[in-house]
Chains A and B, each alone.
Chain A
Amino acid sequence: MTTQLIALSIALGVVNIVIAGAVVLNRLVARYSDRRYRRAVEQVRPIVLSAIAGDAVSLGVRSRIELLATGDLLAKYGRNLSGDGRVHVNELAERSGVIDALVRGSQSRRSWKRAACVYRLGDLGRNQAELLIVRLSDSDRRVRNAAARSLGKQRCTEGVRPIAYAFGRGTIARAVGAQALIDIGPPAADALARLLSSGPVLVQAGAAELLGRLGTVSHSSLLAEAMDHHDPEVRVAAVRALGRIGARSAAARILPVLGDPVPFVRSAAATALGALGSRDAIDALTVMAESDEYLPARAAAESAVLLGGRFPDPGPHLREAIRMSEVTA
């Protein structure tokens, strides 16, 4: 037994030396790779910048590291450019083979690689709606998120419905799905309006919430109908959306929601009325601020003060709201 233990300790000692060696080696390799990469970036950057300026340039035959640097630079510029600059970035990305490499990578067996390539496709190249929509059903969540993000970045209107469904089903991060739809812009609003009328409850709530960001006054009546929905999440989302869209005519429809049985729906209604500048609601809000439970009372007081109400004998919530408005003015 003693002999085996001695052998084990020697073996573990060797493992320690290997691990420590790996640490040192990794640092050396990383330094070397970083230096090579930086050098490649410096070599490629002028060509990329010329291409963005519209010059007819060619990358020529390049090493793997230079191709990687080109992809990184193009993605960086592509993310922040629009108009001609973006078109030129796309052309160079196509010509240099970066897009083909990303498309191949998006079908890799390794999920992290698929996700990275799908993510980058959003910043570069031609419309890849078909590929990205397929990746929206990928088995890996990171890939699905990246696909939604890229569909948004490429403003693919074909992606609205699949993103909205993935958003509603929770197969992509809500924040990412929402931002993708916002990036697609107004074309997403009508698809969302359809989902609000017919999708499952989670989808309806999400659709209402996003309509508040993308919708116009023309969507007010649909959102007003949603305020009668049996699910409080949908009601709250609809009330908030109406407040954000700023349809003054909606105030009359929101006023009765101050009597909703669910406190957070009442709070949202009070806040929306404040946001809509509906002075007709001041009296109702004041009553609510004095008599409701904490959360809706606080929201009502804040809105009543925001709307410029006069309170001869304010209660604690109103006093708090008045003082806060003075301090933060």
Chain B
Amino acid sequence: MSLVEISGVVVLVYFVVLNLSYASFTVVAWRSLVAHRRSQDSLTSDEVFRSPLTPPVSILLPAFNEAAGVVESVRSLLQLRYPEFEMIVVDDGSTDDTLKALTEAFNLVEVEKVTPPGLSFAPIRRVLVSAKHPELSVISKQNGGKADALNCGLTFGRFPYVCAVDADAILEPDALLRVMSPIIDDRSVVAAGGIVRIANGCEVDHGNVTRVGLPRSPLPTMQVVEYLRAFLVGRVGWGELRALLIISGAFGVFKRSVVMSVGGYSTDTVGEDMELVVRMHRQLRRSGTAYRVAFVPDPVAWTEAPETLAVLGRQRRRWQRGLMETLWRHRGIVVDRRQGILAWLAVPYYVLFEVLGPLVELFGYVVVPIAGAWGVLDIEFVIAFFAVSVVWGVMLSVSAVALEELTFRRYPLRREVLRLAWYALIDNFGYRQLTTWWRLHGIVEFLRGRKDWGVMPRRGFGSREVRSS
């Protein structure tokens, strides 16, 4: 067997395993989502809302230079339908008017606060509380990064559960109640994540999404399809397997005592959300504790997606770095028998398909033309293989859109569903290759030891603004 033939077999096996995994996740997610939707008729959210035993939650909102949208976000969070919560905004040394905007909007007054024992974080400058909303406090501290800000919020949080929310996220009124439902139902749940959707194209009024719509431009629309695939298929599937490794930093709930006991968020990674969840898994499995990390597909956090290639590229490079940093840091999982499904499935899957995926794809794009030029390749076979891979990719994207349509149906207009289906069809031509390229860059940046976040400009959600370009 020649080297080219061996490479061909390896790529073929890789392709088959990867796509069968995706297809299996789609089936698992399908079953789970249907069951979830059917249980809506017996949901007891009113009882949970009225019950005195529904645990109170500390909402943590780290903000760095978020003057454009932080007031709307806070306003939306204050309107959450949940019996008891406090909100801690941590201004992480913003150099814009974040603090000023908050102070004016919520009538903040400076108070003296004793710093609780717990995690370490950058020095605090001031603590302010709202005279209008006693449940709202703002901690202004020196810049230390998002993880550092979250650790500060965790330390000051009074309640047994914390909900980490991105400053540019808008939560639906019932989102917290719903994401807390697995925790309320089962005390062994230590973390729960909810679905994150893209707000570009939606109408936002005073911190509420009042009309769901698709963005007009292609780039964020591609991301809508991508998010549907990632959340409705990937996260739901991993959640069902009890091996969910990521709870989005944009919206997730954690048991405070467990997060504190594992040392809080790690400040030396750009993938602090995934790293925390993996560390929690690892330590709880090591100690033999019965626990669960849950994913709830219907609570919705809306977030602003990048609308330019430059910003999107930066985001994807950072995500890839964060993923690799986490997997590298916790590489010991694969040789630890106590880690169960994490050791034999979840971590190997992420390494094989999420880390090495772009390299294999690049290998295909580079080697196939060269081998074709040398005449050692059966061109017909290559074309047929390419056709299968594209049609399979389209099937996965279209399935994600179908899952959305058959379960939640959040996009009210028929033409929007057709547009989603269209983008599901074409995202394999160009967009997928672009993300592969950015992920490759992310791998290079990880190998070079790059640690910074990069700038993520926000436009913010203005009132009555139809967000799209």
Contact = CB atoms under 8 A, between A and B. Distances in A.
B113 interface: yes
Given A8-B388, A179-B48, A324-B129, 14 more contacts: A5-B387, A6-B387, A9-B391, A16-B425, A19-B398, A24-B418, A116-B42, A173-B185, A174-B184, A175-B47, A176-B51, A316-B114, A327-B111, A328-B129
A3 to B, nearest CB: 8
Q: Which 3 A-B pairs have the closest CB atoms?
A: A115-B42, A112-B38, A116-B41
Given A327-B109, A327-B129, A20 B398 contact: yes
18 contacts: A5-B384, A6-B384, A9-B391, A12-B395, A16-B391, A19-B399, A23-B421, A27-B417, A119-B41, A141-B185, A149-B44, A174-B184, A178-B52, A178-B53, A179-B47, A182-B52, A293-B117, A298-B114
B332 interface: no
Scoring B38, B53, B131, B186 by chain A CB atoms within 10 A of each residue's CB, the highest score goes to B53
A243 interface: no
Given A19-B399, A294-B114, A9 B378 contact: no
A12 B392 contact: yes
B129 A145 contact: no
A287 interface: no
A227 B116 CA distance: 27
Scoring A20, A115, A143, A316 by chain B CB atoms within 10 A of each residue's CB, the highest score goes to A20
B402 interface: yes
Interface of A: 1-2, 5-6, 8-9, 12-13, 15-16, 19-20, 22-24, 26-27, 30, 112-113, 115-116, 118-120, 141-143, 145-146, 149, 152, 170, 173-180, 182, 209, 213, 293-295, 298, 316-317, 319-320, 323-324, 327-328
A30 to B, nearest CB: 7
A119 B392 CA distance: 42
B405 interface: yes
A30 B38 CA distance: 16
B42 A146 contact: yes
A130 B39 CA distance: 23
Interface in B386-418: 387-388, 390-392, 394-395, 398-399, 401-402, 405-406, 409, 414, 417-418
Contacts of B378: 2
Contact of A327 (B41, B116, B131, B384): B131
Interface of B: 35, 38-39, 41-42, 44, 47-48, 50-54, 109, 111-114, 116-117, 129, 131, 134, 184-187, 378, 380-381, 384-385, 387-388, 390-392, 394-395, 398-399, 401-402, 405-406, 409, 414, 417-418, 421, 425
Contacts of B417: 23-24, 27
Contacts of B402: 19-20, 22-23
Given A146-B44, A149-B47, A173-B185, A2 B391 contact: no
Nearest to A328: B134
A9 B42 contact: no
A179 B395 contact: no
B351 to A, nearest CB: 27
Contacts of A178: 51-53
B15 to A, nearest CB: 11
A317 to B, nearest CB: 6
Contacts, number: 146
Contacts of B387: 5-6, 9
B384 A179 contact: no
Nearest to A301: B114
Contacts of B388: 5, 8-9, 12
Contacts of A2: 378, 380-381, 384
Contacts of A12: 388, 391-392, 395
A170 B380 CA distance: 61
Contacts of B391: 9, 12-13, 16
Given A8-B388, A176-B44, A178-B51, A319 B112 contact: yes
Given A2-B380, A6-B387, A178-B52, A173 B184 contact: yes
A319 B392 CA distance: 65
A175 B53 contact: yes
Nearest to B385: A5
B42 A112 contact: yes
B51 A175 contact: yes
Contacts of B51: 175-176, 178-179, 182
Given A173-B48, A294-B114, A327-B111, A142 B53 contact: no
Contact of A175 (B184, B392, B399): B184
A105 B131 CA distance: 52
B53 A209 contact: yes
Contact of A118 (B42, B48, B399, B414): B42
B184 A1 contact: no
A1 B402 CA distance: 31
Contacts of B414: 24, 27
A26 B417 CA distance: 11
Nearest to B420: A23
Contacts of B53: 174-175, 177-179, 209
Scoring A112, A115, A293 by chain B CB atoms within 10 A of each residue's CB, the highest score goes to A112
B421 A324 contact: no
Given A23-B401, A175-B53, A145 B418 contact: no
Contacts of B131: 327-328
Contacts of B134: 327-328
Contacts of A19: 395, 398-399, 402
A174 B35 CA distance: 22
A295 B156 CA distance: 11
A5 B387 CA distance: 8
A16 B184 CA distance: 39
Contact of B112 (A23, A143, A174, A316): A316
Nearest to A317: B114
B169 to A, nearest CB: 25
Contacts of A293: 117
A26 B398 contact: no
Contacts of B187: 170, 174
Contacts of B395: 12, 15-16, 19
A178 B55 CA distance: 12
B80 to A, nearest CB: 17
